[in-house]
């Protein structure tokens, strides 16, 4: 690294308070901690990161993290996405690789994050993300489930809410992959992304990762077995409580 102050790999957790579908979801109680505290603590516990920092627009979330011994940064501006929120936070930080962990993932695990970090051992990789094999027809057909197809180097060719690839030849065996929305970026790739206007396919599919592909930046994908449990609705929270109780 160029200097002793460079942070080789840091995890940033973007955390909005006013979520559209489930306001204040990150401050909901899950066992003996809030959802955001579970996500923060599980990310720290992986031991993969030199720093783990929550980036938030909320005094409530900021205080929840800092008062419990964690690190947090307050956003200065309003942001459309977690990527924009993180970009503002890292603009003046000397960090090499940034891992974006969603704040509503209280059961995030070491294995998928480790595979994501390892992608950046290849100096050509500017952006990385995760995928897993789709195992049910329901997932394959659901428009809420984002699919991805990759080339022989595991670089994403396209992301879509539709089923891709379409199986015109049923004699050829093919896996379909679900995109897990956890990202890694080199700092400059993220700053470039947030300076570009929304791209056409990004707007059509409502998938911001297509902005990278439309601007010629490859996204290297790692295959994992991790099944995400994101807290998007009150029903998701009930499901998470059931999982926690079984643990």
The pLDDT tens digits for 3-14 are 445 669 999 999
Q: What percent of the chain is modeled with pLDDT above 90?
A: 83
Choose among 30, 23, 109, 34: nearest CA to 70.
34
Contact 240, 231 (CB under 8 A): yes
Residue 112 lies in a domain: no
Residue 74 belongs to domain spanning: 1-107
Are 186 and 97 contained in the same domain? Answer: no
CATH of the domain at 62: 3.90.550.10
**How large is the C-alpha radius of gyration of the chain?**
18
Q: Check residue 5 and give its pLDDT.
A: 54
Are 136 and 214 contained in the same domain? Answer: yes
Residue 234 lies in a domain: no
Domain count, the chain: 2
Q: Check residue 227 and give its pLDDT.
A: 84
Are 102 and 126 contained in the same domain? Answer: no
Q: What is the pLDDT of residues 140-184, one digit of tens each?
A: 999 989 999 999 999 999 999 999 999 999 999 999 999 998 999
Q: Check residue 7 and give its pLDDT.
A: 67
Handedness of CA 57, 83, 71, 242 (dihedral sign): positive
Residue 246 lies in a domain: no
In the block, which residue shows the tokens 């011994």?
Answer: 69
Residue 142 lies in a domain: yes
Kindly report whether the global pTM for this prediction surpasses the value 0.95.
no
The one-character DSSP state at 198 is: P
Are 99 and 44 contained in the same domain? Answer: yes
């Amino acid at each position: 690294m160029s200097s002793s102050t460079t942070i080789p790999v840091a995890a940033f957790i973007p955390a909005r308070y006013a979520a559209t579908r489930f306001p204040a979801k990150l401050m909901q109680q899950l066992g003996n901690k809030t959802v955001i505290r579970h996500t923060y603590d599980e990310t720290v516990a992986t031991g993969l990161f030199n720093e783990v920092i929550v980036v938030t627009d909320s005094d409530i979330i900021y205080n929840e993290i800092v008062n419990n011994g964690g690190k947090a940064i307050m956003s200065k501006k309003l942001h459309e996405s977690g990527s924009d929120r993180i970009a503002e936070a890292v603009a003046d930080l000397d960090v090499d690789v940034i891992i974006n962990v969603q704040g509503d993932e209280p059961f995030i695990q070491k294995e998928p994050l480790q595979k994501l970090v390892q992608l950046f051992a290849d100096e050509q990789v500017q952006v990385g993300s995760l995928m897993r094999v789709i195992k049910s027809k329901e997932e394959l057909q659901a428009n809420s489930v984002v699919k991805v197809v990759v080339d022989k180097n595991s670089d994403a060719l396209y992301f879509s809410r539709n089923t891709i690839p379409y199986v015109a030849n049923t004699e050829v065996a093919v896996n379909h992959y679900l995109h897990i929305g956890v990202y890694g970026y080199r700092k400059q790739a993220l700053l470039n992304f947030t300076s570009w206007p929304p791209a056409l396919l990004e707007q059509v599919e409502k998938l911001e990762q297509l902005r990278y592909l439309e601007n010629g930046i490859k996204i290297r994908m790692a295959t994992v077995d991790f099944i995400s449990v994101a807290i998007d609705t009150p029903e998701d929270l009930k499901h998470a409580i059931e999982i926690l109780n079984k643990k």
